[in-house]
């Protein structure tokens, strides 16, 4: 591969985007007031994930508003969008972020987008407190269902969502751990509002999911040594 790119650090043979050690990041739909903006384009989904989620659909749809339940009923319970009826707009980096699960980008599918948001996104009100009024937030029904069932949501939910805003992909025989890059991120508050822990810390669970606990321990140790908060 030649010289190591300046924007990457090598850890245990993996090229890691340096920005995960310098960027503050937190995924909190209440704090960010984002309406789950990263979910508005739907998500890429694999055939394995479709088969994993399908038996649980009856429980998942209970979180959804009536309009989305009616939509899915009209589609015979099919939550994967029809490419002939829905423009999935799979941008290049989105393809790279998921291509390891497919033989070719043409095999990629996307969840239905209903009213400009993923079919699994649903609104609810926060409880608020004595000083704050309840606010409307948007959560993922797949995520909520997994939590309420005591399941490991990372193992159950779509990988495209779990890994966000990170991605891993091969290049020239090397594994790359990077931030996803695409123009739509300009409208995602969490990537434009540098609050919370440094990304390598706040996304520790995601890094473990993608590359294992041993590798994540190396990332955490590297961050503590070279990029103290």
If asked whether residues 40 and 107 sit together in one domain, one would say: yes
Please state, rounded to an integer, the average pLDDT across all residues of the chain. Answer: 83
More confident residue, 186 or 150: 150
Answer with the one of 156, 180, 211 that is the final residue of a domain: 156
If asked whether residues 113 and 50 sit together in one domain, one would say: yes
Distance CA 72, CA 208 (A): 33
Domain that holds residue 186: 1-25+165-229
Please report the pLDDT score of residue 191 as a whole number.
Answer: 80
118, 117, 123, 119: which is closest to 137 by C-alpha? Answer: 123
More confident residue, 84 or 200: 200
Distance CA 49, CA 54 (A): 8
Please report the pLDDT score of residue 74 as a whole number.
Answer: 95
Please report the pLDDT score of residue 72 as a whole number.
Answer: 96
Q: Out of 2-11, 18-27, 199-208, which region has the weakest mean confidence (pLDDT)?
A: 2-11
Mean pLDDT of 131-152: 87
If asked whether residues 42 and 116 sit together in one domain, one would say: yes
Number of domains, the chain: 2
120, 64 Cβ separation under 8 angstroms: yes
Is the pLDDT at 166 greater than 60? The verdict is yes
Mean pLDDT of 101-126: 77
Confidence at 105, pLDDT banded by 50, 70, 90: low
If asked whether residues 61 and 103 sit together in one domain, one would say: yes
Confidence at 143, pLDDT banded by 50, 70, 90: very high
Answer with the one of 156, 175, 208 that is the final residue of a domain: 156
9, 28, 50: which is closest to 200 by C-alpha? Answer: 9
Confidence at 129, pLDDT banded by 50, 70, 90: low
If asked whether residues 119 and 65 sit together in one domain, one would say: yes
Distance CA 17, CA 132 (A): 38
Answer with the one of 123, 156, 189 that is the final residue of a domain: 156
């Amino acid at each position: 591969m030649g010289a190591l790119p300046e924007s990457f650090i090598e850890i245990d043979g993996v090229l890691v985007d340096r920005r995960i050690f310098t960027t503050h990041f937190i995924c909190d739909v209440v704090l960010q007031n984002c309406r789950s903006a990263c979910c508005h384009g739907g998500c890429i989904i694999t055939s394995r994930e479709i088969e994993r989620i399908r038996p649980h659909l009856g429980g998942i749809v209970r979180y959804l508003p009536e309009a989305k339940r009616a939509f899915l009923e009209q589609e015979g319970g099919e939550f994967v969008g029809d490419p002939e009826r829905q423009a999935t707009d799979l941008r290049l980096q989105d393809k790279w972020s998921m291509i390891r699960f497919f033989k070719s980008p043409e095999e990629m599918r996307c969840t239905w987008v209903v009213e400009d948001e993923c079919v699994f996104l649903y609104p609810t009100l926060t409880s608020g407190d004595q000083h704050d009024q309840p606010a409307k937030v948007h959560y993922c029904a797949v995520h909520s269902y997994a939590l309420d069932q005591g399941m490991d949501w990372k193992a159950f939910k779509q990988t495209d969502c779990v890994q966000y805003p990170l991605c891993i992909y091969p290049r020239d025989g090397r594994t790359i751990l990077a931030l996803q890059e695409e123009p739509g991120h300009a409208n995602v508050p969490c990537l434009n509002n540098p609050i919370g822990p440094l990304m390598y810390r706040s996304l520790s669970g995601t890094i473990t999911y993608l590359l294992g606990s041993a590798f994540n321990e190396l990332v955490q140790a590297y961050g503590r040594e070279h990029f103290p908060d």
